Amino acid sequence: MIPAIVLRRISVVIFVLLSLTHFGLAQSAASSAAEKPAPKVTYLLVGRLFDATSDNVRENMVITVEDERIKSVASAADLKIPPGANVIDLSQQTVLPGLIDCHTHLGSRADRYYEIYKFKATPFDHAFSGVVNARKTLEAGFTSVRDVGSEPFLAVDLRNSINEGYLVGPRIVASGPGISITGGHGDLNNYSPQTRVMMFPEERDFGIADSADQIRHVIRAQEKYGVDVIKILATGGVLSRGDSPGAAQFTFRKAFQAGVKMAFGTDAGVYPHGDNAKQFFYMVKFGMTPSQAIRAATANAADLIGRSKDVGTIEAGKYADIIAVGADPMSDVRALEHVDFVMKGGVVYKDTRSSSHAGTN
C-alpha cells in the first residue's frame, strides 16, 4: 500500500500542474486575442446604389466594409458614422458591384492574334501579357473573371499570384487549355506534318483528346495542376474557318427574347483587355435594358461561374468588390466604360478622383 502522506503529496503535485496548465492556456488565449489586430472598417457614402439584387436604384446609402467583406448596407439616415472613421465619399457617384467577365484570355493580346505569333511568341510573352492584362481588367472595373483558355497552366499561376497579393488583378476562375479533338478548334491546323509548337508534346499540351480514355486523362491532368473549370471545344470557334461572327448577334437577340438567362462575356484577348465594358452598349442595342445588362455582368455572371456566395451583388457578407462611375449608367450604359473607383476585397485599386494608387486601403 502507498502511505497516506505520499498520496497527499502526489495530489498536491497534480493540482499544481493542472493549475499551471490552465494558467498557461489562459495566458496563451489572452496573448492571441491581444495580438489579433482590430478589423479595419471603412464607410462608403453612396449617392446612388445599384446593388444588382433587383433592377432598382437606391439613393443616399452607406456601405460598411469590415476588412475584405461588406458588413452592412443601410440608408444614410439610419446609420451614424462614428467620429474619426475612415470614410470614402462616393456621394456624387453611382455605385455598383464589381463587374464580372465570364470569357477572357488574360495571356493573349488582341493586337497579336495573327497566326505568325503562334510561332514567334514564347510562354514568357504570354505570362508578361497576363500580368499587364490582369491589371487593365481590374482597373476597368472587372473584379472577377473566368479565364477560359491559355497556355498550360498560365491562368492557374496568375490566379495564385493575385490571390497571394504578389500581382494586381481580378479574382480568376481558371481553366487550362481548351480540350479539342485532333484537327479541331484547339489544334494547330493547315500546316505541314513536321510543324509543331508545343510546350509539353508528350501531353499534347494538355489540350488534345480523341477518345473517352484520352479525355479522362486530360481532365485528370488539368485537375491535378489546379484548374477551377474544364473548357471543352466541342465545335469550331469564332476564328475558325467558315464561322460567321455576325450570327452571334442574331442568336443573342432571339435567346434574350425567349427568356434565356444571360451572363456577360467578351472573349477579351481576341477583344482588347480593358475595353470589356464596351460590350454593354451592344447588349442594350440588341434588346436589354441597362439594368438587365448590368445584372448579366454581376448577379447572373456570379451564378454562372459558381461564385454567387461571395461576389455579384452588394450585400452583407460578400466581398467588398465595389466600383463607382460619375455618370448614370441607367440613362447611358456607356458610363461603365469610364470607371472612376475600384475596390476589391476592401482595398482601393483605383480612384481617379484623387491621387490614390493601386493597393491602398
> From the CA atom positions of the chain, what is the Rg in Å?
26
**pLDDT class of 286 with cuts at 50, 70, 90:** very high
* Claim to verify: residue 179 and residue 284 sit in the same structural domain: yes
**pLDDT class of 245 with cuts at 50, 70, 90:** very low
**pLDDT class of 115 with cuts at 50, 70, 90:** confident
Contact 58, 338 (CB under 8 A): no
Angle between helices 123-139 and 154-163 (to 10 degrees): 50
N-term to C-term CA, the chain: 70
Q: What is the mean pLDDT of residues 54-82?
A: 97
SS3 assignment, position 356: strand
Total tally of structural domains belonging to the chain: 3
One DSSP character per residue, 28-84 reads HHHHHHHHSPPPPEEEEEEEEE--SSSS--EEEEEEEEETTEEEEEEEGGG-PPPTT
Q: Which of 327, 337, 353 is nearest to 89 (CA)?
A: 353
* Claim to verify: residue 50 and residue 123 sit in the same structural domain: no
pLDDT tens per residue across span 20-37: 556 555 565 555 555 778
**Mean pLDDT lowest for which of 232-241, 275-284, 290-299, 326-335?**
232-241
In a domain, 358, yes or no: no
Task: Quote the cell numbers at residue 117.
Answer: 505569333
In a domain, 361, yes or no: no
The pLDDT score that the predictor gives to residue 244 is 47
**Mean pLDDT lowest for which of 8-12, 239-243, 350-354?**
239-243
Task: Kindly report the average pLDDT of the chain as a whole number.
Answer: 88
Provide the CATH number for the domain around residue 110: 3.20.20.140
The pLDDT score that the predictor gives to residue 253 is 84
Which of 292, 327, 343 represents a domain boundary (last residue)? 292
The pLDDT score that the predictor gives to residue 184 is 82
* Claim to verify: residue 197 and residue 323 sit in the same structural domain: no
Residue type, 133: N
* Claim to verify: residue 247 and residue 156 sit in the same structural domain: yes
Residue 126 parent element (H or E): helix 123-139
Owning domain of residue 138: 100-292
**pLDDT class of 252 with cuts at 50, 70, 90:** confident
pLDDT above 50 for 163: yes
Burial 298-308 (b: 16+ CB within 10 A, else e): bbbbbebbebb
* Claim to verify: residue 222 and residue 259 sit in the same structural domain: yes
* Claim to verify: residue 269 and residue 335 sit in the same structural domain: no
**Mean pLDDT lowest for which of 106-115, 175-184, 204-213?**
106-115
- Report the C-alpha gap between 47 and 324 in whole angstroms: 10
* Claim to verify: residue 60 and residue 121 sit in the same structural domain: no
**Mean pLDDT lowest for which of 25-39, 54-68, 98-112?**
25-39
In a domain, 288, yes or no: yes
pLDDT tens per residue across span 310-321: 999 999 999 999
**Phi, psi (degrees; rounded to nearest 5) at 84:** 80, 5
In a domain, 334, yes or no: yes
**pLDDT class of 68 with cuts at 50, 70, 90:** very high
What global pTM score does this model have? 0.86
In a domain, 264, yes or no: yes
**pLDDT class of 162 with cuts at 50, 70, 90:** very high
The pLDDT score that the predictor gives to residue 234 is 83
Task: Quote the cell numbers at residue 313.
Answer: 451583388
* Claim to verify: residue 201 and residue 346 sit in the same structural domain: no
* Claim to verify: residue 321 and residue 203 sit in the same structural domain: no
In a domain, 125, yes or no: yes
* Claim to verify: residue 322 and residue 260 sit in the same structural domain: no
* Claim to verify: residue 48 and residue 154 sit in the same structural domain: no
* Claim to verify: residue 187 and residue 284 sit in the same structural domain: yes
**pLDDT class of 80 with cuts at 50, 70, 90:** very high
The pLDDT score that the predictor gives to residue 356 is 46
Contact 57, 10 (CB under 8 A): no
In a domain, 303, yes or no: no
Provide the CATH number for the domain around residue 321: 2.30.40.10
Contact 294, 335 (CB under 8 A): no
In a domain, 305, yes or no: no
The pLDDT score that the predictor gives to residue 195 is 79
